Amino acid sequence: MTSPAPRHVVLAYSGGLDTSVAIRWIHEKYGSEVTALSVDVGQEGELTGALDRARRNGAREARLVDAKETFVTEFLWPALAANALYQGVYPLSTALARPLIARTLAETAIALGADAVAHGCTGKGNDQVRFDVALQTLAPQLTILAPVREWNMNREDEIRYAKDHGVEIRATTESPYSVDENLWGRSIEGGRLEDPDAPPPEEIFDWTGHPSDWPKSPEELEVEFEEGIPVAVGGKRLGPVDLVREMNRRAGRHGVGRIDHVEDRVVGIKSRENYECPGAVALLEAHRALETLVLPRELQQFKAGVDRRFADLVYEGGWFGPLRAALSAFVDATQSVVTGVVTLRLFQGSVRAVGRRSEFSLLSPELATYGTADRFPHEYAVGFIHLYGLPNRLAHAKGAKSKAERGRRGSAAREVPGAA
C-alpha cells in the first residue's frame, strides 16, 4: 500500500545531525513542507540557535514548546510514585520523555493542519517503538515518517549528505557518543562505550563532576514529600522543575546517579548504556524509604509487582495504553499517606536514606522497642508461631513420609533387577 506523499510534515527536531539532515531529506524525497518542532524537556544546550539553523536548513517554520513543567508533573511524578526503575537500575529518563514529545508533536501537527509527523529514531532502538505507538494511539490519521530508519545512512554518509546539500550542522565537532538529555537524566551510548568491557571514560559525564572533586565528607539532605510528591529540598519549598534541578545539582555534586548498564531493548537486543541521573536516583531512594515507613506490608509487597510492571511498560512505550492508566490509578491510591521527610546521605557517588519521619508512620515505638516501654504482647507469640508454622510442619511430615516410601520402592526395584 503506497500512500500519497505528505504535504506538510512536523518533525521532532533536536538540532543534532540526524534531524538537521532529515529536514532536507524529507523535503527532497517527498516535496513536503517541513515544520521543525523542539520540545523542551530540560535538555541543556542551546535550542534557540538550533531553531535558527532549522529555518536556514529549509524548515518553513521552527518552533519550541516548553514542556518542562508538564514533563515533571504528568510524567516524572507518577514514575517516582511507582519507584520506576527499568531492570532495577534505569530511572527511565529517556523513556519518560518520549510519550510527551510524541503527544506534543501530534498536537502541533493537528493544530497546523499537517498530515504527517516525523522523528529521528533509528530502526533498532526503543525510541522508535515509543514514538510510533504513542503517535498511532493519539493521532492515527497522521502519517509517520522515520527518515533515519528509512535512509540507511551511517554517520559519515549523513555528514557527506549535509556537505553535498548545503545543510548546516552544529559548529562544534559532533561528539563520538549519542547523548539524550532531559530533567530526569542523561543517556550516553556509542563510541567506545559499545564495548561492554570498557570502563566508561570520565568525558561522558556532565552532571556529576570529576571524582576528585566529589566532597570528602558526607552531606545530609532532607527531602519532603506530600502524598508521594516531593515538595521541598533542604527545608526549601520548590516548584516541580526547580526541585528536580536542585536535586540534580545537590546529588550530582557528590557523584550520585552514575549507572553503567547492559540493558535489554524492546527489539530483543542487548546494548550497553550509561546514565547520569543524580536527581532521579536520589529522589527514588527517598521515596522508596518513605514508603517503607507508611505502607502496610501486604500493600508494599503487592505494589512492588505493580511498580515493576509499570517500569517495563514505560520502557516498552505503553504510556498511553489502558494498562498504564490502570497501574497509575492503583499507585495513586497508595500515595495519600506518603507524606513526610526523608534524610538522604550523599557521599562519594552514593545516596542512602538515613532518616525518615511521617505523621502516617506505621512504626509503633511501644511495639518495636526493646526498652522498658515495650507493649508488645509477648505471650501471644508462642500461639501465633504454632499456627504460623503449621503448613510447613504438615508439608514436611508428608514429604518425609513419601520420600521414605519412594526409597523403599526404589530399593525393592533394585533388589529384583531384570526380574521379568
Q: Where along the sequence are the contacts to ligand ARG (CB under 6 A)?
A: 94-95, 126, 178-180, 187-189, 263, 273
Cβ atoms within 10 Å, residue 395: 10
DSSP H helical segments within 113-229, as ranges? 127-138, 147-151, 155-164
Distance of CA 325 to the CA centre of its chain: 17
Residue 178 among the catalytic residues: yes
Q: Tell me the closest approach of the beta carbon of residue 312 to ligand ARG, in angstroms.
A: 12
Which of 127, 130, 186, 187 does the annotation list as catalytic? 127
Kind of pairing between the strands at 236-237 and 229-233: antiparallel
Which of 98, 103, 186, 324 does the annotation list as catalytic? 98
Which triple of cell numbers denotes residue 152? 540507511
| Closer to ligand ARG by Cβ: residue 143 or 187 | 187
Distances in whole angstroms, Cα of residue 31 to Cα of each of 40, 110, 114, 202, 248: 28, 20, 14, 44, 44
| Closer to ligand ARG by Cβ: residue 93 or 358 | 93
Nearest Cα to 113, choosing from 6, 2, 1? 6
| Closer to ligand ARG by Cβ: residue 95 or 290 | 95
Which of 38, 178, 271, 358 does the annotation list as catalytic? 178
Which of 18, 115, 180, 307 does the annotation list as catalytic? 18
Residue 127 among the catalytic residues: yes
| Closer to ligand ARG by Cβ: residue 193 or 327 | 193
Q: Tell me the closest approach of the beta carbon of residue 95 to ligand ARG, in angstroms.
A: 4
Collect contacts of 163-167 with beta carbons under 8 A, ≥24 apart.
Answer: 165/24, 165/28, 167/20, 167/21, 167/23, 167/24, 167/57
Q: Tell me the closest approach of the beta carbon of residue 121 to ligand ARG, in angstroms.
A: 9
Q: Tell me the closest approach of the beta carbon of residue 178 to ligand ARG, in angstroms.
A: 4
- Rounded Cα distance, 157 and 42, in Å: 30
- Rounded Cα distance, 30 and 58, in Å: 14
Rg (C-alpha) for the chain, rounded Å, is 27
Q: Tell me the closest approach of the beta carbon of residue 347 to ligand ARG, in angstroms.
A: 27
List the beta strands (DSSP E) in 93-217. 116-118, 143-145, 178-182, 185-189
Q: Tell me the closest approach of the beta carbon of residue 4 to ligand ARG, in angstroms.
A: 32
- Rounded Cα distance, 106 and 286, in Å: 35
Query: Cβ neighbours of residue 299 under 8 Å, at least 6 residues apart?
Result: 334
Residue 98 among the catalytic residues: yes
Q: Tell me the closest approach of the beta carbon of residue 151 to ligand ARG, in angstroms.
A: 18
| Closer to ligand ARG by Cβ: residue 158 or 273 | 273
Distances in whole angstroms, Cα of residue 340 to Cα of each of 97, 318, 359, 362: 28, 31, 7, 12
| Closer to ligand ARG by Cβ: residue 191 or 218 | 191
**Longest CA–CA separation in the chain, Å:** 93
Q: Tell me the closest approach of the beta carbon of residue 105 to ligand ARG, in angstroms.
A: 17
| Closer to ligand ARG by Cβ: residue 206 or 366 | 206
Q: How many residues does the chain have?
A: 420
| Closer to ligand ARG by Cβ: residue 126 or 334 | 126
- Rounded Cα distance, 96 and 102, in Å: 11
For the annotated catalytic residues, the residue numbers are 18, 98, 127, 178
